[in-house]
Amino acid sequence: MRLWHKIAIGSAAGIFLAGAALLALEAADRAFPPPLDKAAVVSPEVLDADGQLLRAFATPEGRWRLKTVVADVDPQFLRMLVAYEDQRFYDHRGIDIWALGRASLQFVRNGHIVSGASTLSMQVARLIEPRAERSFSAKLLQLARAVQIERRLSKEEILDLYLTHAPYGGNLEGVRAASLAYFGKEPRRLTVAEAALLVALPQLPERRRPDRNLEAAQEARKRVLDRVAVAEAVGDGEAERAEAVAIPPRRLQLPALAAHVGEAALRKEPLVLKHRTTLKKQVQQGLESVARAATTKLGPKLSLAMVMADAQTGAIVGEVGSADYFDASRSGWIDMTRVNRSPGSALKPFIYGLAFEQGLVSQETIIEDRPADFFGYRPRNFDMSYQGDVTVREALQLSLNVPAVKLLDAVGPSRLLVRFRRAEVRPVLPPNETPGLAIGLGGVGITLKDLVQLYTALANRGQPARLGDGVTGTPGKIDGEPLLEPVAVWNVADILSGVIPPAGAPQRGIAYKTGTSYGYRDAWSVGYDGRYVLGVWVGRPDNSAVPGLTGYGTAAPILFEAFAKSGIATTPLPRPPAGAVRIAQAELPISQRRFALNASGLLVASGREPAPQIVYPPEGAHIDLGAKGGDLSPLLLKLQGGRAPFRWLANGKPLPDLSRRRTQQWLPDGGGYSKLTVIDSAGRAASVGVFID
């Protein structure tokens, strides 16, 4: 009985001690967990709309460490990795006892290390908690960490960590970064030769870098391919064929597209690791290649910007903010797609569109291109010459200034700006200036992005689209009234699609308009087909003059080349809507055969002077003057006919002065309904009711 009693006591003590040891180990595990949080530090990525990598940013310590998961990698690479590094990876719990015993026995027999026993879990432990010394205590800690990691993570999650953190020489970490740097592609589809090299490099990454020691890289890859387990994993004869494949001797630059969009994304959401944009990688590559080529031809200190957008969805599919982001001589860090500059003649299509919409002209209406004086404003053509009588179609295609100003005078500058607000675009007027006729020739500031947003209406039957910012902004169609009616839009497109392409450029079936700002400071070209709008700006970021810089000679060739290099097939322009037709001049009604103003500035078909008529604002119009914000803008009043001088009344209260001009400004007291009346010297009156918003 004493023996059994002793055995029972001993067993109980053993169980107690074992339990105590387990509890101690559990407590130690909780008190000293593996530093898995360090593994979360990876390179932020900027992706295109399809999830393709546009660019990545280095980690704070300067590493290219792209987060990689098993699904990102070729399955054959994974089979080769496990076969070479850790054949029993899916069976052990962090430590391969058989491999450890084999390595220990070989060490005792030979006096030095013959083969390792490090599992992938142990390698992950070393990668996330690196130690400079290679001591026995460091190895014991690595073994313990491997067990801890196995308790917390699945096998796939452990592989994810290895694929993300494995060293590949220099500042490259992870399979994705290495595949992009050495092969120029994502690791989803790897050849046997490529996979073998990626398996071999992490063991001695600095010694085996292909760009530094090609021979060592070849020998390491051969060692992987010669392993029996690897040969079995890749199939009969594949290893032998892979050994004959050359290894790339150079390290490539990682994708670095859309620099300005990427920087904006990082500033807006600095804690986000993957930034999805609306850009398309193929389009972005095409636009940037055109920008690089153009830079060599533009001359010093000149920059350029491009925006390409889907007119139906509003998505920006390509954006170049400068000629070269890193070129300080061109101020490449400035995103010129967001800077207000004078658009030159690029706004003229919208003036003509309003004139078409109001029935003032048709394409074949005759309009004079001769010197004219608009109350002291004397516009001149770009080449300082005049064409005489031209059709409206010719006037827009030749971008003649005097006809455009005549039409703007007829439709009203304020009305043009109100239409722009329908597209959520507000051009910037000079300080203390009210809307005037100079708008038609570039007398406002507008960004390239906003200009493209306006042109989406011309590509989309008059309905503009909101572009967003390419990152966090939400693109989409803008609800509300169209910027222009479909028939007017068709007339503009029919004219602009007939503009001759620049020398050497193929006819692509696009409609386009150019613009050159005063003093040769900005060159513009905006083109569109039935789906996409592309805008190009060229100039100096410091707004200095550039002699010889023109929209047609400088920006238009870039526009056509960028359309070609974007990789997007041309979509035909929209079909003519009901009622859209080009009428011959002889078949036009008498009132539309010639656009002319009488001595009083009235649009007439005969010489008789009718009673006064308020032509702007129109009856019942809702006019946004900023009443909701409390900062009202003045309203431009315009009349035709009548005999000067004129007396204006607002809600029955006379404005301060009589006027001999047919334009007047009125600053409302507030929002809501107002009645405006004008009385001429003959006592004839006209009134309209409007709503001030």
At 481, which amino acid appears? E
What is the 3 state secondary structure string of 175-240? HHHHHHHHHCCCCCCCCHHHHHHHHHHHHCCCCCCCCCCHHHHHHHHHHHHHCHHHHHHHCCCHHH
Residue 8, C-beta contacts closer than 8 angstroms, at least 6 positions apart? none
Under DSSP, is residue 261 helix (H, G, I), strand (E, B) or coil?
helix
Nearest-Å Rg of the Cα atoms of the chain is 36
Marked catalytic residue, from 85, 150, 238, 561: 85
Our CA angle for 516, 367, 553, nearest 5°, is 20
Q: Please give the Cα distance from 436 to 686 (Å, whole number).
A: 24
CA distance 128 to 162: 9
Contacts of 339 (CB under 8 A, 6+ apart): 447, 448, 541
Token pair of 648 as six digits = 């204006």
Q: How far apart are the first and last CA of the chain?
A: 105
Quick one: which of 246, 239, 241, 235 has its CA closest to 183? 246
Helix (H), strand (E) counts: the chain: 21, 23
Torsion angle, alpha carbons of 473, 551, 298, 527, to 10? 40
Does the annotation mark 85 as catalytic? yes
Residue 154 identity: S
Indicate if 481 belongs to the active site.
no
Catalytic residue among 121, 345, 414, 497: 345
Peptide bond between residue 576 and the one before it cis (omega within 30 degrees of 0): no
Task: Name the residues annotated as catalytic.
Answer: 85, 345
